[in-house]
Amino acid sequence: MADYSKHIISQDVPVTRALEQISSLGQYLTLFVTDDSGKLLGTLTDGDIRRGLINSKPITEPVRQFMNPNFRFLRQNDYNTDTIRRFRAQLLQLIPELDTDGRIIRIVNLAKTKALLPVDAVIMAGGKGERLMPLTRDTPKPLLKVGDKPIIEHNIDRLTRYGINHIHITTRYLGEQLEAYFGDGSAKGINIQYTREDEPLGTIGSMRLTAKYRNDTILLMNSDLLTNIDFEDFYEAFRRQDADMSVATVPYQVTIPYAVLETSDGAIRSLKEKPSYTYYINAGIYLMKRSMVDLIPDGVYNATDLLEKLIADGYTVTYFPMLGYWLDIGRHEDYQKACVDINHITL
C-alpha cells in the first residue's frame, strides 16, 4: 500500500502552505488535518478553502479554520465489506483508518484497492521444496521467481490489493532469506511478522506460536500457490455462512474410459458409458475464526487435522469453489507451467 503521508497536514499550518501541498499531490486532492498527537480533526480540499475565502476568512489563518470536521473514516477492527461498498457508492477515494484514540493508522485508496478485508493472513513458507531440487538447494521455494518476482511475492501483493496488511510468514528452511527479502513489510506499506519453526510442525502447528492476531478472521495459505482467487468473494461466503472454517476448493474431473455398471443384489441396475465425475480438491487456502487457533494442540498439526476435528465436533465447516486460476507449484513441471502461465493470466 502506498505512502500517503504527504496527505497529512497539521492543524496549525497556514492555508497558503496547504494550497502548496495540495498542488503538489497531483491527484487525490485531499489533506487530512491532525493535531500534535496525530488525532484526525478534519479534511481539507481546495473546495473547502474556496468556501472559507468566500466567507471572508483570511488566507493567513491556520487550516483548522477551513477544514471540514464532518469526515468519513474507518475504525480499526470495526468495519466490514458493506462499509467499503457504501463508501465506493459515494465515490469516495481516500479513507483514513483510525485507532481507538482517533489517530490515523493508514490511509486507504479505494480507487486502487479491490477491497479492505478485516483479516490477518498467515503464509506457510517453511517447507524445503525437495521435489524442486536442485533449484531449492540454496533458495527457499517461495523465493523462486515466476515472471518478474518470487512466488510468495505474487501472493503477498494480491493479499495487499484486498486490503490485508497484517501478514505472518512461518519459516524454517532458509527462512533468513525470506526475512531479508521482505523485512518488516514497510517497503510495501504493510506489516510482516515471522514465526520461525525450530522443527517441522505441520501446515498449521506454528499458528499457535504466531504473535497476536489483530483481526477476528485469519486467512491461511500455502506460499507456493499461483492463484487469482477472489479473496473478497471467499470472505463474503465465509461471513454469510457464519462458518468456523472454510476451505477454498478446485474442481477436479475424473473420466473413466470404460462403461461403468451400477449393480445391486447381483443385478445390473444401470450402465454409464465413460462417465465423468467432478470432485473438489483442497486448494491450500483457508479462512477461519481466530478462536479456532485455540483448538490447535502443541506440536505437529496439519490443516486437515483441524478440519477433521471441527467436522467431528459439530463446527460449521464449509467450502468455497474457486472459479479462477490455481496452480500448486510442487514439481518441476508445475514450476515450468507457472513460468509460462504468468504471461497469460491476470493476478
Q: Is the pLDDT of residue 2 over 70?
A: no
Distance CA 173, CA 200 (A): 10
Q: With 60 as the cut, is the pLDDT of residue 237 above it?
A: yes
pTM for the model:
0.83
Last residue of a domain, one of 79, 109, 139: 109
pLDDT at 3 over 80: no
Question: What's the CATH number where 190 sits?
Answer: 3.90.550.10
98 shares a domain with 125: no
pLDDT of residue 110: 87
Same domain flag for 164 and 25: no
Specify if 114 maps to a domain.
Answer: no
Last residue of a domain, one of 109, 140, 157: 109
Helices (H), the chain: 15-23, 46-54, 81-89, 151-161, 175-182, 231-240, 303-312, 332-341
Whichever domain contains 18, its CATH number is: 3.10.580.10
Residue 274 has pLDDT above 90, yes or no: no
- pLDDT class of 143 with cuts at 50, 70, 90: very high
Residues 129 and 219 both lie in one domain: yes
Q: What percent of the chain has pLDDT over 70?
A: 99
pLDDT confidence band for 133 (50 / 70 / 90): very high
pLDDT digits (tens, 9 = 90+) for 246-272: 999 998 888 988 988 888 888 988 888
On whether the CB atoms of residues 270 and 297 are closer than 8 A, the answer is no
Its domain, for residue 25, covers 5-109
Q: Which three cell numbers stand for residue 60?
A: 493567513
In-domain check, residue 346 = no
Q: Are residues 160 and 78 in the same domain?
A: no
Choice among 24-38, 70-84, 226-240, 241-255 with the minimum mean pLDDT: 70-84
135 and 33 co-located in one domain:
no
Strands (E) across 61-115 are located at 74-75, 94-98, 104-109
218 and 286 belong to one structural domain: yes
Give residue for cell 505472518. 168
Is 273 found in the same domain as 155?
Answer: yes
What are the CA-CA distances from residue 248 to residues 22, 65, 81 (Å)? 44, 52, 19
37 and 135 both lie in a single domain:
no
Residue 155 grid coordinates: 501472493
End-to-end CA distance of the chain, in Å? Answer: 16
> Where does the pLDDT of residue 79 fall: very low under 50, low under 70, confident under 90, or very high at 90 and above?
confident
Cell 473438489: give the residue.
280
Q: Which of 297, 135, 274 is nearest to 204 (CA)?
A: 297
- Cβ atoms of 14 and 64 closer than 8 Å: no
Asked if 267 and 151 sit in the same domain, the reply is yes
- Alpha carbon distances (Å) from 142 to 14, 130, 132, 179, 181: 50, 12, 11, 12, 11
Q: Residue 144 above 90 pLDDT?
A: yes
User: Do residues 199 and 302 both lie within one domain?
Assistant: yes
The pLDDT score that the predictor gives to residue 169 is 95
- Please state the domain count of the chain: 2
Within a domain: residue 198? yes
Q: 87 lies in a domain?
A: yes
